[in-house]
Amino acid sequence: MTIIAVRVAKVYLTEADHQLAAIIQYLHGDGEITGATAYRGLEGYGESGKVHDASLMDLSFNLPITVEFFDESNKVLTALEYLKENFDISQAVSWLAEQH
């Protein structure tokens, strides 16, 4: 089995940010990231402390979204730098991992 060193990144957004499509487009195009997945959360909160949830009473549809991707470490770090400079990204994390 071949094991490859990679970097995994997660970027945290909300639906109200309206940035998801442009972020995925960048990762797929100019960022040349091998693959990315966006997850829509049922509930969450960030630095503001405001809870966003999927209750029937909340018609704003401002649910949390996580965009996760991995690739070679330098490509991921470059992509994260670009995203932080060109989008309103308040939270992002990354870590080294192994691809099996």
Q: What is the mean pLDDT of the chain?
A: 90
The whole-number average pLDDT for the span 43-71 is 76
- Cross-strand partners of 37: 68
The total number of structural domains that make up the chain:
1
CATH number at residue 79: 3.30.70.120
Select the more confidently predicted residue: 77 or 51.
77
Sheet containing 64-71: give its strands across.
35-40, 64-71, 4-14, 91-99
The predicted pLDDT at position 14 comes to 87
Q: Containing domain of residue 34, as a range?
A: 4-99
Helix axes 73-86, 20-28, angle to 10 degrees: 140
Q: Please state, in angstroms and rounded to a whole number, the distance separating the CA atoms of residues 63 and 18.
A: 11
Q: For residue 54, what pLDDT is reported?
A: 65
**Are residues 24 and 38 in contact, defined by beta-carbon separation less than 8 angstroms?**
yes
pTM, to two decimals: 0.85
